Structure 1
Amino acid sequence: MTNIRHQPIAPTHARWLAQGAAIDAHRHDDHQIVYAARGVLAITTDAGSWIAPATRAIWVPAGTVHAHRAHGELELHFVGLPPGDNPLGLDAPTVLTVGPLLRELILAYTRAPDDDSPERGRLRAVLLDQLRASPQQPVHLPAPTAPRLRALCDILRADPADDRTLAALGRQVGASDRTLSRLFRSDLGMTFPQWRTQLRLYHALVLLAENIPVTTVAHRCGWSSASAFIDVFRRAFGHTPGAHLP
């Protein structure tokens, strides 16, 4: 990423971000929790992308260069935490489950006056307790570094519904399926089917944020039927894709 801004303090506040808008690459000396109470948030680093609907938040460790993008109109809530406050001990961006209580705590903390009052301190302490209990979610699309793997991933990013086998895709990029399978594990830490499913779920969240009907999303993302898509989506996010539509 180029033109990286350094903002030492990660602010705690709420703001709106229009559909398709972005916050350019920057970094903080603080940790930050980023939560979209409305819309779908995507955060990108050199290591890949993380995406979060309203049931998820993204933990961004101190010093991480990252950029934001809005899918749908975003109601964004930022919680800045000093480097010493890392309740989950995370050193990489991570998607966290946001239950009803954690959601309300984030909303209250980002809307309350930013002062040193005892009430705000208690609110922050409970928020950190809830973070410690927040399950981590594997909603991460890692970015490949190997040239042939990057070429293959670019093909599927352009058309997530492409259902060709790894061998067929390998012929297009000039590598055997065995070589590519090895690269997926060594470079991305997952298998080809796992990465393709993550890509399709990522793309599905983006389309749902644009109010595309569930059946259309299923076919655009490569599922054979809406029911197959709904089943995978529910297992990944704990609710059906229809929950993202107005």
Structure 2
Amino acid sequence: MPPIAAPSATDRAPGSAPANSVGPLTPHLYAPDALRPLRAKEHFLNADTQVELHQHPWPQLTFSTRGVIRLSTEDGSYIVPPSRALWVPADMPHSISLIEDAELRTVYLHSWLGPAWERCEVLEISPLLRALMLALDTTPDGLPPADPHAAQRERWIAPLLVDELERATQIRIDVPLPTDKRLRQLCEALLRNPANRATLAERAQQIGASERTVARLFRDQLGMSWQQWRQQAVLAHALPLLARGMAVSLVASASGYATDSAFCAMFKAATGQSPTAFQHKKRG
């Protein structure tokens, strides 16, 4: 699917613009090369921070040891809780929104390392993959590494880390956007108002298409069903509201769910925790 410009609703929930915008967090000070094929960095960032759109000529893994983040590209957004990491291919423009206070970790890989994935991939982090990523030195160029053997350890860790990447389970927690103008109109309408409980048949009628046609377009253009896409869009809308302390019942209603229990079941299946646990962790 060719790159397309995403509407602002995919980058943040309505009414929740980031309070603080920062630059690309100095990726040039961590550029991987043949001597140091893996480079890692860490930043502690507050909720409502947005890392501005940027790109670099090497792929990266983005994850957080605590806090949920949302990474946005030109054709969609990806929700990344601490149990998962996001693969971002080289030269792909991306920005990051902090849904809660987070310890953001990034691993840069030399261009000849890693899988040949051409799109972003959300990955389940195995205990070994997490340990390997956290073992990397995070000192920027211009300063002596905290570990004098950092370069050697990075070269040893590289092949095992890549093997773990290729074994990792891929999970869909993204809000992709279609190229078809009618389907895009439908998607943008839901992103603007997730509480609207109109059925797919009703939404299809509004764009002058049949329900069967729209269902086929979702499968052909986005690789998922209408129900799956709507769940991803609702999750991207609900997470910032929960992070701000809104009651679960209100978030469920604002997300278009008729019952709290149905919303809680969706949330736990997608993030591995209940909405209440998510809020308690944030307050803690």
Aligned residue number for residue 25 of structure 1 = 53
Listed as ranges, the matches of 1:64-103 within 5 Å are 64-86=92-114, 88-103=115-130
The answer to whether the 8 A contact 2:137-2:150 is kept is: no
Question: What's the TM-score once normalised by structure 2's chain length?
Answer: 0.74
Q: Report the Cα offset of residue 93 of structure 1.
A: 0.5
Measure, in 1, the Cα distance between the counterparts of 2:247 and 2:267. Answer: 14
Aligned residue number for residue 168 of structure 1 = 202
Question: What SS class does the counterpart of residue 157 from structure 1 fall into?
Answer: helix
Among residues 181, 203, 208, which one is paired with 1:147 in the alignment? 181
Among residues 133, 136, 143, which one is paired with 1:106 in the alignment? 133
Q: Report the Cα offset of residue 166 of structure 1.
A: 1.6
Q: Deviations over 1:107-157 (max 9, x none)?
A: 332546376443444444543343233211111211122222222111111
The answer to whether the 8 A contact 2:84-2:122 is kept is: yes
What amino acid is the match of 2:200? L
Measure, in 2, the Cα distance between the counterparts of 1:215 and 1:165. Answer: 21
The answer to whether the 8 A contact 1:43-1:69 is kept is: yes
Matched, 1:14 2:42: yes
Measure, in 2, the Cα distance between the counterparts of 1:162 and 1:59. Answer: 32
In structure 1, list runs of 5 or more residues that go unmatched.
Answer: none
The answer to whether the 8 A contact 2:60-2:89 is kept is: yes
The answer to whether the 8 A contact 1:30-1:80 is kept is: yes
Measure, in 2, the Cα distance between the counterparts of 1:213 and 1:155. Answer: 25
Measure, in 2, the Cα distance between the counterparts of 1:235 and 1:158. Answer: 24
Question: What SS class does the counterpart of residue 72 from structure 1 fall into?
Answer: coil
What amino acid is the match of 1:106? M
Question: What SS class does the counterpart of residue 67 from structure 2 fall into?
Answer: strand
Among residues 42, 46, 54, which one is paired with 2:82 in the alignment? 54
The answer to whether the 8 A contact 2:45-2:102 is kept is: yes
Q: Report the Cα offset of residue 49 of structure 1.
A: 1.2
Q: Report the Cα offset of residue 78 of structure 1.
A: 0.8
The 1:123/1:27 distance shift into structure 2, 3 A limit, reads same
Q: Deviations over 1:43-85 (max 9, x none)?
A: 1122211110111111001121212222122321110001111
Measure, in 1, the Cα distance between the counterparts of 2:56 and 2:224. Answer: 29
Question: What SS class does the counterpart of residue 228 from structure 2 fall into?
Answer: helix
Measure, in 2, the Cα distance between the counterparts of 1:90 and 1:181. Answer: 27
| Root mean square deviation, CA, Å | 2.7
Question: Sequence identity of aligned pairs in percent?
Answer: 36
Question: What SS class does the counterpart of residue 39 from structure 1 fall into?
Answer: coil
Question: What SS class does the counterpart of residue 178 from structure 2 fall into?
Answer: coil
Measure, in 2, the Cα distance between the counterparts of 1:178 and 1:196. Answer: 17
Aligned residue number for residue 161 of structure 2 = 127
The answer to whether the 8 A contact 1:143-1:188 is kept is: yes
More strand by share: 1
The answer to whether the 8 A contact 2:195-2:257 is kept is: yes
Among residues 247, 253, 256, which one is paired with 1:219 in the alignment? 253
What amino acid is the match of 2:105? H
Measure, in 2, the Cα distance between the counterparts of 1:100 and 1:162. Answer: 40
Question: What SS class does the counterpart of residue 12 from structure 1 fall into?
Answer: strand
Question: What's the TM-score once normalised by structure 1's chain length?
Answer: 0.85
Counting matched residue pairs gives 242
The answer to whether the 8 A contact 1:234-1:241 is kept is: yes
Question: What SS class does the counterpart of residue 54 from structure 1 fall into?
Answer: coil
Aligned residue number for residue 241 of structure 2 = 207
What amino acid is the match of 1:184? F
What amino acid is the match of 1:55? S
